Chains A and B, each alone.
Chain A
Amino acid sequence: ETGVTQSPTHLIKTRGQQVTLRCSSQSGHNTVSWYQQALGQGPQFIFQYYREEENGRGNFPPRFSGLQFPNYSSELNVNALELDDSALYLCASSPGQLTDTQYFGPGTRLTVL
C-alpha cells in the first residue's frame, strides 16, 4: 500500500510568483485535504476536496486554490505569493469526506523571497 506522496520536496519562489504543489493520495482514498504549517506552529486547514469538488475551506484567501483529479491526486495552487506564504504545505488523504482520520504526506517546504 502506497502512502501519501508530495512533490516537490522543497521550492523557492519570489514574491508575486505563482506556485503549484502536488499530492498523490493513499491508495483507496477519495478525499484530500491541504494544510499550511508555518514555522513553529501547528498546521492550519486550507481546504478539502472530495471527488473533484471543494467541500470545505478554511480561512485562506481565494489566491489559494486547488484541484482534484479523477485518480484522486491533487494540486494546490497559490497565486501572487507573499512572504508570509513561506511554510510547510501538507497534504492529507482519507477514505471519505466525513472520515475523521487523515493520513499525511511528508510535505513541501515553500520559501518565498
Chain B
Amino acid sequence: AQSVTQLGSHVSVSEGALVLLRCNYSSSVPPYLFWYVQYPNQGLQLLLKYTSAATLVKGINGFEAEFKKSETSFHLTKPSAHMSDAAEYFCAVSRTSSSASKIIFGSGTRLSIRP
C-alpha cells in the first residue's frame, strides 16, 4: 500500500535560511509524488510533482524536491526562505486503482519563518 510520512509537524527557520521539509514514502511500485502548500484559510496549491521523468523536480516559488529511491525519500527544499513561505506543506502520493486515482496525504508540516 502506498503512503507517505512527513517528519516534523512544525519547522521554523530564519528568513534567508535553507528550508528542508522531510517526506518518506512507502510504495511497492514506482510512485507519483507531490508536494502541496496550503496557506491559512485556503485550499491546496500544487508546488511540484514527481512522475519518474527526472529525480530532481523544480516547482513554483523556488522550491524543489529530489526523489531518492534508495532512501525512499522525497524531501522538499528551498535555498532561501521568505516570509511569504509560511504555510502548511503536505507531501502526497497518488494511488491509482483500475477505475480511480486518489491522493494520499501526509499529516503536514507547518513552516514558520522568523524575521
Contact = CB atoms under 8 A, between A and B. Distances in A.
Contacts, number: 71
A100 to B, nearest CB: 4
A107 B43 contact: yes
B100 interface: yes
Nearest to B98: A98
Interface string A16-53: 00000000000000000101000011111100101000
Contacts of B32: 100
Contacts of A48: 100-102
Contacts of A35: 103
Contacts of B103: 33, 35, 43, 45, 92, 100, 102
Contact of B100 (A92, A97, A103, A106): A97
Interface residues of A, number: 30
27 contacts: A6-B43, A33-B102, A40-B108, A42-B106, A43-B44, A43-B90, A45-B103, A50-B99, A55-B99, A55-B100, A56-B102, A58-B102, A90-B43, A92-B44, A97-B99, A97-B101, A98-B96, A98-B101, A100-B32, A100-B96, A100-B103, A103-B46, A104-B36, A104-B46, A105-B43, A107-B43, A109-B41
Interface of B: 32, 34, 36, 41-46, 49, 51, 90, 92, 94, 96-97, 99-108
